[in-house]
Structure 1
Amino acid sequence: MRAYGSCLLVLLLLSAPSHAEARLVFSAFPDQGLPLVQICKRILVEAYGELGISIETRAAPAARALQYAERGLNDGELCRASLLAEQRSDLLLIRTPLFESYAVAFANRPLQLRDWSSLKPYLVGFERGKAALELRLKGVRLSPSNGVENGMRKLAGGRVDVHVEDYYSGMGMLRQSGMRGIQPLHPVLERFSMHHYLNPRHRDLAPRLEEVLQHMAQQGRLQAIERQVLREAGLDDLSLP
């Protein structure tokens, strides 16, 4: 009986998978359908797949998502602007940019804007917890929102004068919601390179991922994914303001 039990144990061990599938969980903005999130996610699903790693995202408001990543409650940030690395964060910046985000002021009336400083006369909305925007909007009267849609509805209701948002995310939300009368203003306030961030416990993984992303960039794969996402979102007809 004991011999039979030993044989059964050996058979079970041999039939079990040799290793568990590696899986990482990343913080992401709550509006998972926005082009910005989809571009990052598709690129990283493909890149990590090359390393035999699957990924998933955990949606949370922008400020809370960053806290989860920094405290090690998950494995990092799906994507944030490169300016995050210049602030207090200890997260590891993956240097190959995933794509460029265009910060634009949206308004429902004509306004003459030149740069960030020209926003000072106005009450400005932006998504709470977006570190790059917080840095650029110092000294401006602010009214934070809890997401792109919430910010645009505040603008439509006259509760802010302008709302600063990623161009494609803002345009996608306006088209999806059917809100009218809101337009992006000229010029683009700033172009931010968007990067993936890892929790420091994955320091050994960073150079391997960097190598994969560099190869994808050289092959034009990053740009191809961006174009595909914009086409699927019905935003490929847009030109920058």
Structure 2
Amino acid sequence: MLVWASAVEARPTIVFSCWIPPNLPLHHHLTKLYVDAFDAMGYDFKMHYRPNQRALMEASTGITDGDCARTDTFGAESAASPLVRVETQIASTSLEAWSSSPAVTVSGIESLTGHRYRIGYVRGHVAVQALVERYPALRFTPVTSAKHGLKMLSAGRLDLFVGTSVSTRQEIATLQLPEAVHSAGHLMVLRGHPYLNEQHRSMAVPLAEALKKQIPDGGWHFE
């Protein structure tokens, strides 16, 4: 979806789909990062919020030009995907578990085995989907959004909700939940990269170089 501008507005526009809701600070941080990086490359930039699975579909089929952030293992976990990883890590965070009970604690995915927890996650979250396939005995339940999952957790319809730490923490800060939710612990480290649609493969290296000039070595780190 490379949008060519009119004669008055001479530069083409790159459009990314992004699963991070626009009301969260991380969405705005990423938008500015990409605006600055693509500006240096001679492009304008826009980012469209889409639910997780739809964001992947739009980037993969060329409705948009790329996806704002996926893990470094996305390609290995989604071998059929045509998306191309940009080799600059933009951020690191973790996959974090949340509970409505402060007494529940986890320390890695293995600590969930042996329990009958009802575990919610956002449909299309590739890192969690890999865990669903690797640990079929665990009771994973896909939901449409982090907001939906957190509300189910607060209402007692889930025992745990797992999601990307930085975006889930920001989501919690925007919600008025009937019962408070608490961090139960971290499951694994997640390292984020932008991904481009295959038709823009030639942009991967220059975009990686442009991003390196905008962020610290190794990208932003979020607990």
TM-score normalised per structure 1 = 0.79
Shift in Å at residue 137 of structure 1?
Answer: 3.2
Which one of 60, 63, 74 corresponds to residue 53 of structure 2?
63
Larger relative contact order (CA 8 Å, sep ≥ 6):
2
Instruction: Please name the residue that 1:118 is paired with.
Output: 111
CA RMSD for the aligned pairs? Answer: 2.3
Q: Percent identity?
A: 24
Instruction: Please name the residue that 2:93 is paired with.
Output: 101
Instruction: Please name the residue that 2:181 is paired with.
Output: 182
Which one of 97, 106, 128 corresponds to residue 133 of structure 1?
128
Q: Which runs of 5+ in 1 are unaligned?
A: 1-15, 228-239
2:68 aligned with 1:78: yes
Query: Which runs of 4 or more aligned residues in structure 1 lie more than 3 Å from their structure 2 counterparts after TM superposition?
Result: 16-19, 220-223
Bigger share in helix: 1
Which one of 26, 32, 38 corresponds to residue 42 of structure 1?
32
Instruction: Please name the residue that 2:208 is paired with.
Output: 210
Separation in structure 2 between the aligned mates of residue 174 and residue 205 of structure 1, nearest angstrom: 35
Instruction: Please name the residue that 2:164 is paired with.
Output: 166
Q: Aligned AA for 1:67? A: M
Separation in structure 1 between the aligned mates of residue 168 and residue 98 of structure 2, nearest angstrom: 8
Q: Aligned AA for 1:189? A: L
Q: Aligned AA for 1:182? A: V
Structure 1 residues 172, 216: CA separation in 2 closer, same or farther (over 3 Å shift)?
closer
2:18 aligned with 1:28: yes
The CA deviation string for residues 160-189 of structure 1, in whole angstroms up to 9 with x for no partner, is 110001222222222221324210113x21
Q: Aligned AA for 1:174? A: I
Q: Secondary structure at the match of 2:88?
A: coil
Separation in structure 1 between the aligned mates of residue 9 and residue 21 of structure 2, nearest angstrom: 34
Instruction: Please name the residue that 2:197 is paired with.
Output: 199
Structure 1 residues 131, 101: CA separation in 2 closer, same or farther (over 3 Å shift)?
same
Q: Aligned AA for 1:124? A: I
Q: Secondary structure at the match of 2:124?
A: coil
Structure 1 residues 191, 37: CA separation in 2 closer, same or farther (over 3 Å shift)?
farther
Separation in structure 2 between the aligned mates of residue 19 and residue 36 of structure 1, nearest angstrom: 28
Structure 1 residues 148, 154: CA separation in 2 closer, same or farther (over 3 Å shift)?
same
Q: Which runs of 5+ in 2 are unaligned?
A: 1-5
Q: Point out the more displaced range, 23-32 or 189-198.
A: 23-32
TM-score normalised per structure 2 = 0.84
